[in-house]
Structure formats: C-alpha cells, structure tokens
C-alpha cells in the first residue's frame, strides 16, 4: 500500500523551501546593518542650507568623506558614484550622494559647490567648522589626519576611503570599499530601493 504525504507535511515542506529562498540579500558591499553609529549628520550644504540625514528619507543615501584637493581617492570615488547613479536609470532620482569635506579650512562653500557638481549636478557637498567636521568623522568612525606640505596651505589629508550607504528608511546598511565596481554598487542600491 502506497502512502502519500499529508497536506500538513506538504505545506511545511513548501514553507521551508520559501524561507530558504528568501534569506538575506546578497550585497556586493559589506553589510553593516544594525551598527550603533552613523546615525546623525548635521552640516551645511554647498548652497548654505543646513542639512541632516533625515532630509533625505525616502532615498538611498551614499555618504563619502574626503576633500577637494585630494589627488586620487576622492575624485575616483566621485567618478565611480557618477557611473553608479548613471546605471540606475529611472531609479537615479531616488539616490542622493553626499560628499563631506574633511578640510573646511580650504573647502569653502563656493569651492565645494564647484567641485561636487562637476561630477554630477545632483551631488551635494557638506561642510562644517573644524569641531562639526571632527564630530561627523567620529560619528562615522572616519579616520583623518593632516600631513604637512612644503607650505602651510599645501598639506594633504590621509583619510578613510569607504562610502556609507543608507536605505530609504534612513538606516545605515552598507560600507562600500574604495574601488568597488559601479555595477556592484548599483545592484546593491537596487536591492535597497526594493526594500531589501
């Protein structure tokens, strides 16, 4: 006599299969969901308007710390972000890139405006005084230190190179390594925009 699985067994098996298929999203970047830092950013944008992270709720937000006279990491990161946003098609308007200067002494509001918008007119530069800059860096665990140059104004700044990504609900979710392929970052952003 043949025995057939009961309806309850079939339902249980189907549920187990669905749970196995709906695991955590496969991000290309480092998933840092749930960290207890990177919760606030309160600086002034390149138009002079005060900005907070909450201003961008409903969008995926990419935050990168750097400075305009950076010779390598900063321009290549912003170029990569420009390429990433271009790959998003109609979702591009749902992503905001924020460039936070670590050099408020030299990165004036006007210089920051010219710099970030040269990469993409929608990118926003943020700045504060030395104390606000240090507080923002601490909040995001960003390392930075001045290295003296040949003149007092020709210093460089060694700094962390990762970018931080917030989901549309305003939660810090990903750390993007410097040099990550724009296709990978775009794929991660699409997952976040889809509510993953």
Dmax (CA) for the chain in angstroms is 93
Contact indicator for 125, 112 with CB cutoff of 8 Å: yes
Query: Using CA atoms, how far apart are residues 84 and 176, in angstroms rounded to an integer?
Result: 12
Q: Which residues pair with 146 in a beta bridge?
A: 157
CA proximity to 104, closest of 149, 135, 72, 73: 135
Contact indicator for 67, 154 with CB cutoff of 8 Å: no
Contact indicator for 100, 63 with CB cutoff of 8 Å: yes
End-to-end alpha carbon distance in the chain: 47
Q: Annotated binding residue at 184?
A: no
CA proximity to 48, closest of 100, 109, 97, 96: 109
How big is the chain by its Cα radius of gyration, in Å?
21
Residue ranges at the known binding site for Cu cation: 70, 74, 159
Annotated binding site: 70, 74, 159
């Amino acid at each position: 006599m043949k025995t057939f699985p009961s309806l309850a067994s079939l339902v249980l098996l189907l549920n187990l299969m669905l749970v196995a298929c709906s695991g955590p999203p496969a991000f290309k970047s480092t998933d840092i969901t749930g960290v207890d830092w990177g919760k606030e950013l309160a600086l002034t944008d390149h138009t002079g308007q005060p900005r907070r992270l909450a201003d961008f709720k409903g969008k995926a937000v990419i935050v990168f710390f750097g400075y305009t006279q950076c010779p390598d990491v900063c321009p290549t990161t912003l170029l990569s972000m420009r390429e990433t946003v271009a790959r998003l098609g109609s979702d591009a308007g749902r992503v905001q890139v924020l460039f936070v200067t670590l050099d408020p002494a030299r990165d004036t509001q006007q210089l920051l405006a010219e710099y970030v918008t040269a990469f993409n007119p929608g990118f926003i530069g943020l700045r504060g005084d030395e104390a606000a800059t240090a507080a923002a860096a601490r909040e995001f665990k960003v390392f930075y230190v001045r290295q003296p140059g040949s003149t007092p104004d020709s210093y460089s700044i060694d700094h962390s190179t990762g970018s931080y990504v917030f989901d549309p609900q305003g939660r810090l979710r990903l750390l993007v390594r410097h040099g990550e392929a724009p296709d990978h970052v775009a794929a991660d952003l699409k997952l976040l925009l889809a509510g993953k």
